Structure 1
Amino acid sequence: MSRTLDLAARLSHTLDQWVERCCVILLAVLVVTVWTGILARYVLPWNLTFTEEMARYLMIWVALLAISMGICRRQHVGMLVLFDRLPALLQRVLALSFDLIGIAFFAVMFFYSLTYVERGFSQSTMIFGVPKGYPYLILPIASGVACLQLALSALKDMKRTSPQPALERT
């Protein structure tokens, strides 16, 4: 059982590193895109209308991918004032319950987002003219990764002797 929990921790960490790298790259492209749009609008005589649409989609991609990073590091929003005062066994049960609820939520989101992506391929973006299914692909990707990270984090928590507050987790 210990080998399985160690494997889950390593897999979670590796997945988190890849998602973090993707977020950094997307965020860098977002910053360059926004600055290019600002320069094109106020400084240079360019007519670059694509920057606004591209920045919008990049921001959504970064925000949705970052959810799994917060899950892996246990830095998502939570109210620990009451949680910390509960007995350790009840803390573990509640933590596992919240993880299972999160897994169910992201699984439903994954399932319904597939239909949303499919419908998006029959529509085009305003400026780029590409099917909206491509930008919408982040919905099943992010919800699938979040679901996986929740499952792996729940396994990692099983290894701990007592649940730790979110700010102290690594």
Structure 2
Amino acid sequence: MRSWAVTASAKLNTVVEAIAAGLMLALVLDVWLGVVDRYYFHWQLPWPEALARYLMIWAAMLAVSSGVARRNHIGLTSFIMVLPYRLRRAALICMDVLTLALFLYVAWFGVGFAFGGATRHAMIFGASLAPFYAAIPVAAALSSIQLVLVLLRDLGTHIDDPPFEVPQEEAT
């Protein structure tokens, strides 16, 4: 089960990171289009600023699940490190379960938030805001899945004994 969790987490993270990278590329191109429009061509395009905002929201929200997969999120370990190993491991598993509950809560209520955006429209695009608001429940659901996978992968050992090794190319 642990090796399956490692593989599934890595594959899901690869897809999410590729999507986030594509969104960031689109964001950079959109911002450059806005700069070129404003200072050189004076087309007075109304949408680059709004599109940049929504691209940034999606990219940032998707990056949360990547941080969960890599365990690169912020963590305060001062209290945890003074606990005995077995208690430390139990505390880390409990924190993962509580974090999972938070992500599931956000995903559940985020669906209603996204559907609420269906009745609102972006003035510039003339489109529903539901696809933009959907970043919240989608990111929370992906983070929930990743958290279950890394919980199975690490089982509370990620501070003391990282279960995966950094490839030689990344270490240098």
| Superposition TM-score, scaled by structure 1 size | 0.90
Pick aligned residue for 2:159 from 148, 159, 164 = 164
C-alpha separation in 2, matches of 1:135 and 1:164: 36
- Distance of aligned partners of 1:148 and 1:31 in 2 relative to their CA distance in 1, 3 Å threshold: same
1:91 offset after TM fit, Å? Answer: 1.7
- For 1:64, the equivalent position in structure 2 comes to 61
**Alpha-carbon shift at residue 33 of structure 1 (Å):** 0.5
| 2:119 alignment partner, one of 118, 122, 125 | 122
Q: Choose which of 83, 96, 102 in structure 1 pairs with 2:99.
A: 102
Say whether the 8 Å CA contact 1:8–1:152 is kept in structure 2. Answer: yes
Matched residues in 2 for 1:54 and 1:167: separation?
Answer: 39
- 1:80–1:165 Cα contact (<8 Å) kept: no
The more displaced of 86-95 and 143-152 is 86-95
**Matched-pair contact (CA < 8 Å) for 2:153–2:163:** no
Greater relative contact order (Cα < 8 A, sep 6+): 1
2 CA distance for matches of 1:123 and 1:144?
A: 23
Structure-2 change in CA distance of 1:165 and 1:43 (3 Å): farther
Pairwise mapping of residues 112-151 of structure 1 onto structure 2 (< 5 A)? Answer: 112-151=109-148
Q: Residue type matched to 2:14 in 1?
A: Q
Normalising by structure 2, report the TM-score.
0.89
CA distance in structure 2 between the aligned counterparts of 1:165 and 1:62, rounded to whole angstroms = 31
Letter in 1 for 2:84: P
Deviation at 1:60, TM superposition (A): 0.5
**Aligned-partner Cα distance in 1 for 2:162–2:8:** 22
Distance 1:25 1:165 in 2: 35
Give the letter for the 1:92 counterpart.
R
Between Structure 1 and Structure 2, how many residues are aligned?
Answer: 165
State the superposition RMSD in angstroms: 1.9
1:40 — aligned with what?
A: 37
- Name the CA distance, whole Å, in 2 between partners of 1:110 and 1:88: 33
Q: 1:86, CA displacement in angstroms?
A: 2.2
- CA positional deviation for 1:168: 9.7
Structure 1 residue runs of 5 or longer lacking an equivalent are none
Aligned to 2:83, the other structure's residue is in SS state: coil
User: How far off its partner does 1:43 sit?
Assistant: 1.8
The aligned counterpart of 1:79 is 76
Preserved CA contact (<8 Å) 2:154 2:163: no
Assess, with a 3 A threshold, how the Cα gap between structure 1 residues 45 and 63 changes in structure 2: closer, same or farther: same
SS in 2 for 1:106: helix
Identity fraction in percent: 32
Distance 1:167 1:34 in 2: 39
Deviation at 1:165, TM superposition (A): 6.0
Offset from partner CA, 1:42-65 (integer Å, 9 cap, x none): 222211110000000000001100
| Aligned mate of 1:14, from 7, 11, 24 | 11
